[in-house]
Structure 1
Amino acid sequence: MNVSSMIKLTISMAIFGSVGFFSTNSGIPALELVFVRCIFATLFLGGLWYLTGGHKTEKWNKKEVWQTLLCGVFLVLNWVFLFKAFEEMSISIAISIYNLAPIFVLILGTVLLREKMTVSGVLATVICFIGSILIVGIENFHSIDQFITSGFVWALLSAVCYALTMFTSKTLNNLSPYATTFLQTIVGIIMLLPFCQFDVFNGLTTTNWLYILGTGIIHTGFVYYLFFDSIRNLSTIIVSVLVFVDPVVAILLDTLILSFRPTLFQSLGIILIFGGILFTIFKPKKGVALPIENKEEIVS
């Protein structure tokens, strides 16, 4: 067991758990924040890739490049939808729904790859579905307007795109993590540039800029560096457990700093969602897609 790598991964997940807190204090909308994030990721990790000489030994494969670009589209949409969810609902609720991604990977494997859905997979899906209803609040399902403005749709879309990111990256074997991320964030810059409203950056305070820079440099550059430097030395099961440091930190910060107080039903919903996800991870069945096939795509 590589203790050093475990510590690095734990630190990276703990830091990333604060991304919701940073995004809500950045003072700019989700799309522009993701645009900035893509720029920093491209510069930071692209620079590391170049300085370490990795670009010289990169094994380029045309099929994998196109697959990576498609994966990048889903990754960027995942970020945008998650930050939109943070704007509409509590970080704890958004992050809980966001972590439904492994369940969606299971469903995608069944629908697209015709993998056999086991009884345990169906049970986990039902448990998570009930949990998502409880965590958002049944009252938000009484009208379409309440349902849309609850932020549930954005959080759910972020989970779906996260699942598609993992799903489309399952067979990426030749490209390095740095090349993969560089291509994906370049896609993000190109995708979001036409839609960015640059006037939102006017009138921002120094504090706003610190949170924006923190989201780009710390949560993207530094966290990705620690993540890529550690996962190669850890087993999938260890990574599966340690990634849960992210939502735990997010919920703790939301509770301690932003004074989020879940209701009894919301607390039960959180327990059901993470219980269903853990059940999926630790009871994989033959022929069913594991929630983490390509470790490079775990970080959101």
Structure 2
Amino acid sequence: MTQENNPHNYLRLHIGILLAGATGIFGRIIALTEIPLVWYRMLIAAIVLWIVMRMNHRVSIPERHQLARIAGCGILLAIHWVLFYASIKASNVSIAVVCIALNGFFTAIIEPLIGHRRMSWHELALSLLTLAGILLIFGLDTRHRTGIIIGTFSSLFYTLFSITSKRVQQQTGRSSSTMLLYELLAGWGALTVILPIYLHLYPTATLLPTGIDWAMILMFASVFTIGPFLTQLQALRTISAFTVNLSYNLEPLYSIVLAMMLFDEGQELNGAFWFGVLLIILSVVLQTALSRRAEATICGK
């Protein structure tokens, strides 16, 4: 049996995806508002990742000009996370994770502009199918419009982070773990600057967790933040990048199933939501088929 076909590798991959899908659950469970929540997440995750890298003798300090660019990526990541958890607070987990599917739509438009290449019309068409699903949910379910608007901006900043981080990594030659470590530290630093202003504007906001929230934050920032990242890196050693990326399309579905099991969110979602989700799934399936065809064409040459 080859490493690619080893079922244990796929099991580890999907455990990582399940951990990633559960991060939205913590946004609803933990009582802290979005900025303090992300502040703790980035700080603790950076400490845990530094310990792991230190044990493996992989800690390195990028050059000053590289640090500035990596820090910019970290700030984009912090904004994405803050908006993602704000969307959960304003609506629910299912709405927030579905909005992340707009990443494909934003990528189809932004990546060609930044990379100075021609736009892929089939990618744009499939992304518009995803957009139609979001608009259907937005137009027919007025209860969650605020959460959808915030979630849309969260997806936009996630797209900007993904594209920018990929380009910076290619240009600097830094490892994924080094990139993430300094992105986490930069995002945490930016939130540290903003936090006093936020607390002044919202004096009722709580900074210190109480009771069970401490345990939840520690678990959230370590196991459920660094865990998926390390699992994905390990999976890429034995499983193709295409398979890993395709498998991560299941993350929103895992989040929705968990939210329905834990919070009974199915009672909050109407037919418009599920029809919109079907359009989004159709977009992913069609994109998968086209990607497989393109991969087969390249291999056949």
Q: Matched residues in 2 for 1:183 and 1:222: separation?
A: 17
| Counterpart in the other structure of 1:200 | 206
| Counterpart in the other structure of 2:230 | 225
Structure 2: which 5+ residue stretches go unaligned?
A: 293-301
- 5 Å matches for 1:143-162? 150-162=146-158
TM-score if structure 1 supplies the norm length?
Answer: 0.83
- 5 Å matches for 1:82-161? 82-138=84-140, 140=142, 150-161=146-157
Amino acid at match of 2:112: T
Is 2:265 aligned against 1:266?
Answer: no
Contact kept in structure 1, 2:94 and 2:255, CA below 8 Å: yes
| Counterpart in the other structure of 2:23 | 19
Contact kept in structure 2, 1:78 and 1:159, CA below 8 Å: yes
Q: Deviations over 1:179-227 (max 9, x none)?
A: 111100111111001333496145x542222222221122123333323
| Counterpart in the other structure of 2:287 | 280
- The CA deviation at 1:282 is 4.3
TM-score if structure 2 supplies the norm length?
Answer: 0.83
Specify the SS of the correspondent of 2:166.
Answer: coil
| Counterpart in the other structure of 1:36 | 40
* Percent of matched pairs sharing the same residue: 18
Query: Cα RMSD between the aligned structures?
Result: 2.6
Q: Matched residues in 2 for 1:135 and 1:212: separation?
A: 31
| Counterpart in the other structure of 1:212 | 217
Q: Deviations over 1:239-273 (max 9, x none)?
A: 12221232121110122221122311110101112
Specify the SS of the correspondent of 1:100.
Answer: helix
Q: Matched residues in 1 for 2:176 and 2:117: separation?
A: 27
Aligned residues: 278
Q: Matched residues in 1 for 2:243 and 2:231: separation?
A: 16
Specify the SS of the correspondent of 1:151.
Answer: helix
Equivalent residue for 1:250, pick from 241, 247, 255: 255
Report which of the two has the higher share of helix.
Answer: 2
Is 2:46 aligned against 1:45?
Answer: no
Change beyond 3 A, Cα 1:59–1:73: closer
Change beyond 3 A, Cα 1:2–1:67: farther
- The CA deviation at 1:136 is 2.6
Structure 1: which 5+ residue stretches go unaligned?
A: 141-145, 286-300
Q: Matched residues in 1 for 2:180 and 2:215: separation?
A: 24
| Counterpart in the other structure of 2:182 | 183
Specify the SS of the correspondent of 2:117.
Answer: coil
Q: Matched residues in 2 for 1:114 and 1:228: separation?
A: 29
